[in-house]
């Protein structure tokens, strides 16, 4: 039976999650409760109606997996004491790993660096300063907050940090299963049990450092995770309507910053609805800016009522084979915006109503972890792959390329010349 200050939570994925007394205190803070109102998948609910689960649900799931993984690893014999450094902090780092997320999860992290304070891992430091959260973490001892934050960022000396941030972190195991469940798709069925049972604390033969790795028997499950992630990106996370909504949302926030309707530091803290509401409220109060009027009367309602920009052009990786694109195409910088607005003028549309979208996220399928072969030999699975196994690094690179699609969206249906658009996106294209 749980003690009076612990708590049992029923979870649709992992069934029963038992929160320790410290976890209860963390969960009850305003900073953590905010995660109830940050959708796990941003705008995916516009395509998959069930995808309304939140960062709150996901964080609890990762906490559960962290405690499970630690129990499994504790059965490993003859390990030096150094591998267990900050063991007691791992479940709380797992619980808090998404505390710094912006509204609509990852979308704003695609903006140019100057438009956001930092990535969500770095931003989490601001939430750790909240008095309620500091008090909740106080029983963990001096310096615990900074060490938890280091784990979230994948830094620090604790070998167990790989459970929180790494090629095979518990975050991926939960979100792939959870996202697939709530989207109603079969792609995310990762063999989590096999992966957990295959975890091992291994010593790098080259550096002598200890880290979280896997036994060779779990490599098949690792392959399933890789392919599941590919399927989820291709069919859910980067679905064309999800990308249209995400791209429009980014443009709304970017223009709101440019029009000084809000400061970038104000992006830290609001929930999904709070941020859109506040931008809309301030845009309506602006009686001089045409851009503000478009934000309030056209763009935000388009998001709220699913009147999304439509695909005018689309190129897959195969279509782009041999086509060189300028580096700025993968970002959201001024050059890209000028090209978008140039096309908008030519099509008789307002500025901002032609959107180029090319997901720029890198390292999606990269692997860098130790594997203990059946012979007992420990090797690193990285860009070189491993003899006698599926070349997972090469496969991962191929999956990353084929998942990405270059699209042009327009607010109203228009015909575009594909060759001319590609010419505008070439490295030698004039301004």
Which tens digits make up the pLDDT trace of 285-340?
A: 867 688 999 999 999 999 999 999 999 999 988 888 889 999 999 889 999 999 99
Q: Are 102 and 116 in contact (CB under 8 A)?
A: yes
Range with lowest mean pLDDT among 49-63, 163-177, 379-393: 379-393
Outline which parts of the chain fall under CATH 1.10.3210.10: 7-228
Report how far residue 153's alpha carbon sits from residue 172's, in angstroms, rounded to the nearest whole number.
15
Contacts 24+ apart (CB under 8 A), 43-47: 43/104, 43/107, 43/242, 43/245, 43/246, 43/249, 43/303, 44/179, 44/183, 44/236, 44/237, 44/239, 44/242, 46/241, 46/242, 46/245, 46/306, 46/308, 47/236, 47/239, 47/241, 47/242
Summary mean pLDDT of the chain = 91
Q: What is the average pLDDT across 409-422?
A: 94
List the helix and strand counts (H, then E) for the chain.
17, 9
| Confidence band for 1, pLDDT divided at 50, 70 and 90 | very low
Range with lowest mean pLDDT among 277-281, 286-290, 397-401, 410-414: 397-401
Name the burial class of residue 118, with classes exposed (0-12), middle (13-18) and buried (19+) by CB atoms within 10 angstroms of its CB.
middle
Q: Yes or no: is domain 7-228 CATH 3.30.1330.10?
A: no
Count of CA atoms in the C-beta half-sphere (13 A) of 296: 18
| Confidence band for 209, pLDDT divided at 50, 70 and 90 | very high
Which position has the higher pLDDT, 242 or 380?
242
Q: What is the average pLDDT across 403-420?
A: 92
């Amino acid at each position: 039976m749980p003690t009076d200050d612990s708590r049992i939570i029923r979870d649709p994925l992992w069934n029963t999650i038992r929160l320790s007394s410290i976890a209860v205190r963390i969960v009850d803070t305003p900073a953590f409760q905010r995660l109830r109102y940050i959708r796990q998948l941003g705008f995916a609910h516009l395509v998959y109606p069930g995808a309304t689960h939140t960062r709150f649900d996901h964080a609890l799931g990762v906490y559960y997996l962290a405690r499970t993984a630690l129990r499994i690893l504790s059965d490993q014999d003859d390990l030096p004491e150094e591998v267990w450094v900050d063991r007691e902090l791992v479940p709380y780092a797992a619980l808090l790993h998404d505390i710094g997320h912006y509204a609509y999860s990852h979308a704003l992290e695609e903006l140019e660096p100057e438009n956001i304070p930092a990535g969500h891992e770095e931003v989490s430091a601001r939430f750790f300063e909240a008095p309620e959260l500091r008090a909740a973490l106080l029983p963990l001892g001096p310096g615990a907050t900074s060490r938890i934050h280091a784990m979230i960022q994948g830094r620090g000396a604790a070998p167990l940090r790989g459970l929180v941030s790494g090629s095979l972190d518990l975050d991926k195991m939960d979100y792939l299963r959870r996202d697939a469940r709530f989207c109603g798709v079969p792609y995310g069925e990762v063999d989590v049990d096999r992966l957990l049972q295959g975890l091992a604390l291994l010593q790098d033969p080259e550096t002598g450092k200890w880290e979280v790795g896997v036994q060779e028997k779990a490599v098949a499950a690792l392959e399933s995770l890789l392919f599941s992630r590919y399927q989820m990106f291709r069919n859910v996370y980067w679905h064309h309507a999800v990308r249209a909504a995400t791209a429009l949302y980014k443009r709304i926030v970017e223009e709101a910053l440019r029009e000084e309707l809000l400061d970038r530091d104000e992006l830290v803290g609001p929930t999904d609805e709070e941020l859109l509401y506040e931008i809309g409220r301030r845009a309506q109060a602006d009686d001089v800016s045409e851009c503000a009027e478009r934000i309030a009367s056209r763009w935000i309602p388009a998001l709220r009522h699913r009147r999304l920009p439509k695909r005018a052009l689309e190129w897959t990786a195969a279509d782009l084979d041999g086509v060189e694109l300028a580096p700025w195409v993968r970002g959201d910088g001024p050059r890209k915006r000028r090209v978008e607005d140039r096309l908008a003028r030519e099509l008789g549309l307002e500025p901002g109503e032609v959107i180029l979208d090319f997901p720029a996220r890198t390292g999606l399928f990269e692997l860098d972890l130790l594997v203990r072969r059946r012979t007992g030999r420990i090797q690193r699975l990285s860009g070189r792959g491993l003899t006698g196994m599926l070349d997972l690094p090469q496969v991962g690179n191929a999956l990353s390329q084929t998942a990405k699609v270059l699209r042009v969206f327009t607010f109203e249906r228009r015909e575009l010349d594909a060759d001319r658009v590609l010419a505008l996106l070439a490295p030698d294209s004039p301004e």
